[in-house]
Amino acid sequence: DGRARVLADGNEIPLLALGVWQVPDGPECEDSVRWALEAGYRHIDTAQAYGNEASVGRALRDSGVAREDVFITTKFYPGSKDPEAEAQRSLERLGVDAVDLYIVHWPQGGPTWAWEGMQRAQRSGYARSIGISNFSASEVDELLKVAEVAPVVNQVQFSPFEFRRDLLTACEARGLALEAYSPLGTGRHLRDPQVAEIADRLNRTPAQVLIRWALQRGLIVLPKSTHRERIEQNAQVFDFELTSADVEALDGLDATGGTDRALEQPWW
Ligand code: A2P
């Protein structure tokens, strides 16, 4: 129904997720995740590095939504030793038997460094799908040369202003779905006059326009908010469409030159 897609390994993934980067462990995170589940989100994106997996797990249990109806992503913190052992710790914190998706958070140590352990984590049943984050197209290719099980997603910063068109094309051509984190530019892009003009014309909000752009560009999209009304607003994106002219106008906001790099400046 346009709300989910099938990954290259056959697993289905909901296209809209709540991202919980920088949401502290505790009531703020629990409330956000529970509100999201109540608003119809069926995909939550967390990470070992965020330190809030326990809150995500508690909110999932409190929500009353069945575990099998929610897609849970967490990410391996590449500083730590073994992806399989760290997956087990994530599962304990989350209080689940397996995550739906387990991602290498960034290519520290090189693009192949963590992959053997990621494959082991999947074989052990700790993760249904495995993927990567913050990988450039050439890093994806390096990994694909040695991978027995190919990654099925690459999660990168992505928005009209960070429209890495070549990275998107390369990932899709290699069977990786692209996931957009910071689709609102961590809030900065909501103030852009061109985004606001489109939003006003459609009687929508800038956040909804940016999320809709990501969906129409074929991305899985992970907006973050800790406010209930914004969490709800960000989910109201399946009942309208941008025209191709508006999509192209938004494409034109790109400041990256369409690069195949994951980031201009790695922060790690
Ligand atoms: P808050 O969490 O206080 O609601 P991104 O997803 O690109 O990382 O952007 C997240 C930022 O955008 C957060 O600061 C969040 O604030 C803000 N935000 C998220 N959704 C909305 C919205 N619908 N309207 C206004 N601000 C929003």
pLDDT of residue 160: 97
| 266, part of any domain | no
| 260, part of any domain | no
CATH code for the domain in which residue 95 is found: 3.20.20.100
| 150, part of any domain | yes
Strands 4-6 and 12-14: antiparallel
Residues of the chain under the 50 pLDDT cut: none
| 262, part of any domain | no
| 264, part of any domain | no
- Copy the structure tokens of residue 212: 């809709």
Q: How many domains does the chain have?
A: 1
pLDDT of residue 264: 64
Name the residue with the closest Cα to ligand 1, atom 14. Answer: 187
What's the gap in Å between 186 CA and the centre of ligand 1?
6
| 24, part of any domain | yes
pLDDT digits (tens, 9 = 90+) for 8-23: 999 999 999 999 999 9
What's the gap in Å between 227 CA and the centre of ligand 1?
8
Q: Which run of H or E residues covers position 222?
A: strand 220-222
What's the gap in Å between 206 CA and the centre of ligand 1?
11
| 60, part of any domain | yes
Helices (H), the chain: 27-38, 53-63, 83-94, 115-123, 137-146, 165-173, 193-202, 206-216, 228-235, 244-251
Regarding the beta carbon of 122 and ligand 1, being less than 6 Å apart is answered no
Looking from the CA of residue 227, the nearest atom of ligand 1 is: 4
Per the listing, tokens 């929610």 go with: 70
Q: Residue 197 belongs to what domain range?
A: 4-251
| 265, part of any domain | no
Give, in degrees to the nearest 5, the angle at Cα 205 between 202 and 210. 95
Whose CA is closest to 179, among 212, 208, 154, 211?
154
pLDDT of residue 116: 97
Q: Other C-beta atoms within 10 Å of 147: how many?
A: 18
Per the listing, tokens 């469409």 go with: 241
pLDDT of residue 266: 59
